[in-house]
Amino acid sequence: MRKESRVILALDEVNGERAMWVAGQVADLVDAIKINWPLVLSTSSETITRLSELAPVICDFKVADIPNTVSLIVSHAVARGAEGVIVHGFTGSDSVRAAVQAAHDRQIFVVTEMSHPGGAEFTAPASESLARMAVECGAAGIIAPATRPERVAALRRVVGDLLILSPGVGVQGGSASVALRKGADYVIVGRSIYGAEDPRRAASEIVREAREAGGV
Ligand code: BMP
């Protein structure tokens, strides 16, 4: 995955036509497009392939299952054109290893601490163990919360040079520049871009903020 703007679009737009329009508006500005169940279920898995023609696609399926099922989901996402897949880590190292193996040369990202308030209940206390396991299992990176930037810094100390993708910017209250300065490689931004009247302008503003935060 390229590392230029350090911004990943979370395309949770459920109108398929508008989703493709938004993707076309910002594909050259963002480093990747992350899609989740809402868009895949409201359109079809063919959307993965169509989007992958515009930008690298990360399938945020938060896969949480036994190794065999994990492996089936990851290999089908990759066959559709996914460059990366997001999985949960609480399922254990055998499931995460199955994801890494099924992804071959594509990337697996493991959820650590989630960005919403409920993420503090169960995921926060386990986040450093989950991050350590992601490293041991050969994942490409982790997901860490821009809403709690000090946790991004703490998780960076655990994962070394693994990639950190950080959601929670904008509507959830997190700041792109702070998350990047605390150690995130990329910020994940959804509604603040795809929900804007002018998604290209909204994306450009966040890209400018990311650039000002330094790095790369
Ligand atoms: P938004 O910028 O609209 O809040 O979108 C954030 C995106 O990141 C959503 O797709 C959400 O599913 C995802 N996400 C998150 O917000 N917090 C997490 O801890 C993990 C996520 O994948």
- Look-up of token digits 């450009």: 204
Query: pLDDT by residue (tens digit) across 37-66?
Result: 999 999 999 999 999 999 999 999 999 999
Report the percent of the chain where pLDDT is more than 70. 99
pLDDT at 214: 76
Select from 33, 58, 112, 188 the residue to mutate for testing ligand 1; criterion: most ligand atoms less than 8 Å from CB.
188
- Ligand 1 atom with the smallest distance to the CA of 194 is 3
Ligand 1 pocket, 12 CB below 6 A? yes
Mean pLDDT (the chain) is 97
How many angstroms from the chain centroid is the CA of residue 35? Answer: 9
Residue 216 confidence (pLDDT) above 60: no
- Decide: 4 and 30 in contact? Cβ < 8 Å: no
Query: pLDDT by residue (tens digit) across 115-158?
Result: 999 999 999 999 999 999 999 999 999 999 999 999 999 999 99
Q: Provide the pLDDT confidence category of residue 215 given band limits of 50, 70 and 90.
A: low
Mean pLDDT of 71-91: 98
pLDDT at 135: 98
Strands (DSSP E) contained in 26-114 are: 32-36, 57-63, 84-88, 107-111
The half-sphere exposure of 135 on its side-chain side, counting CA atoms within 13 A, is 14
Residue with the smallest CA separation from ligand 1 atom 15 is: 167
- Decide: 202 and 22 in contact? Cβ < 8 Å: no
Q: For the whole model, what pTM was predicted?
A: 0.98
Catalytic residue flag (residue 34): no
Instruction: State the DSSP code for 174.
Output: B
State the catalytic residue, choosing from 3, 34, 62, 182: 62
Please tell me the distance between residue 199's alpha carbon and the centre of ligand 1 in angstroms. 17
Inter-CA distances, 152 with 115, 178, 184, Å = 11, 10, 7
pLDDT at 1: 86
The half-sphere exposure of 109 on its side-chain side, counting CA atoms within 13 A, is 27
33/48 Cα distance (integer angstroms): 10
- Decide: 168 and 174 in contact? Cβ < 8 Å: yes
Q: Which amino acid does the sequence have at 177?
A: S
What is the domain partition of the chain in residue ranges?
A: 7-212
Residue with the smallest CA separation from ligand 1 atom 8 is: 167
Ligand 1 pocket, 41 CB below 6 A? no
**Which one has a higher pLDDT value, 61 or 213?**
61
Ligand 1 pocket, 168 CB below 6 A? yes
Domain 7-212 adopts which CATH fold? Answer: TIM Barrel (3.20.20)
